[in-house]
Amino acid sequence: MIVIDADGHVEESTAMFSRLEEKYYSRRPIALSFDRDTAYGDHNAVWLIDGKTYPKVIGKGGVTYRTPTLMDAARQKPVSIGSQEMTDIPTRLRDLDNSGIGKQVIYPTLFLGPTTDDVKLEAALFRCYNNFMADACSKSDGRMRFAALVPIRDVEASVSELRRAKALGAVSVIILGVAWDRSLGNEELYPFYEEAADLDTPVCVHFGYGCPAITEAFESAESFNSAVLPVIMGFRSIMTSGVLETIPKLRFAFLEIGSMWVPYVIHQLKRGRRVRKDPADYFKVGRAYVACEADEDINYVASWIGEDAFVMASDFPHGDPSREENMEKAVMAREDVPLSLRQKILYSNPQKLYGV
């Protein structure tokens, strides 16, 4: 059995942004480091983008990343900088071997939140990201694949970039739980969803800071509010919108916030008569997936949504609570979970989701 990691990450690098197209090259993100004896502590580096710094660790609207890797927090991880940044693919593959991972689908770090108000610059940054990831993954002998980034505020540009990224090898497309100021069930997004369905590409709703207004309300230590809850908001919006009925081949995944919330939200939607169809049915027929965690009550969630919707993430090389050091060992140790389900979590379900 080849273990498939449904959600790994890359720490963006200056090498990535050195490829930014000429028109925007002078506005490329710049990595800056500073002394550690500040309120930032060992997160003592930031990206400068259009006059603003990311991540904003202090105060309202704060988020915590370990990019750029100039910061001490990134260099303290037991993973080389080249592996984190995917600038050293052989080392990254050895790290996957050491973690028992056969294949990995990779998501961004810096771009788990908005970085510029300028949608054209954002689109250029995303094209640069997709180009870098396609090139890096092409050196992995098929073991690493990537999720495309699209500038979702511009639906037409998102359709075009998704088509281009798919040709480059993307196996999914990432969006956040709120598309800036639009709910995920908003009909303005339907042309993008139709393209994703036509390209047989899952739309993966990932932990992240997709709505600036929500993010600005909370401190970085309160990321449950600003980055976790929007995924649940996105799920509710999708399930009540009718988009899954309107676009029959469309499928979604919900990543990096666990799975225990799913029964609660389904119960509330049914209790409030907010849905025409039981949302659990979409999980059972392969149109909705959720990333579980090894220590959750997987059997209970499975009693609601069946066995065919669970995937699992290593979150490598991040070091936050979502990290699973060795997915295979953690899952296979759950002898209370049927062996068939454990095998589906580690291989057959993510294989169906991504087609890898």
Rounded alpha-carbon distances, angstroms, from residue 17 to 68, 85, 172, 175: 12, 12, 22, 21
pLDDT band for 1, please (50, 70, 90 cuts): confident
Above 90 in pLDDT, residue 322? no
Q: For all residues of the chain together, what is the average pLDDT?
A: 97
Q: What percent of the chain has pLDDT over 90?
A: 95
**Residues with Cβ within 8 Å of residue 201, at least 6 apart in sequence:** 148, 162, 166, 170, 171, 172, 173
Domains within the chain, CATH numbers bracketed: 4-12+80-354 (3.20.20.140)
pLDDT band for 323, please (50, 70, 90 cuts): very high
pLDDT at position 124, please?
98
Above 90 in pLDDT, residue 94? yes
Exposed/middle/buried for residue 99 (C-beta within 10 Å: 0-12, 13-18, 19+) = buried
Q: What percent of the chain has pLDDT over 70?
A: 100
- How far is residue 332's CA from residue 280's CA, in Å, rounded to a whole number? 25
Rounded alpha-carbon distances, angstroms, from residue 342 to 4, 43, 338: 12, 37, 6
Provide mean pLDDT across the span 275-299. 97
Q: Does the pTM exceed 0.95?
A: yes
Q: Which residue has the tokens 């910061």?
A: 71
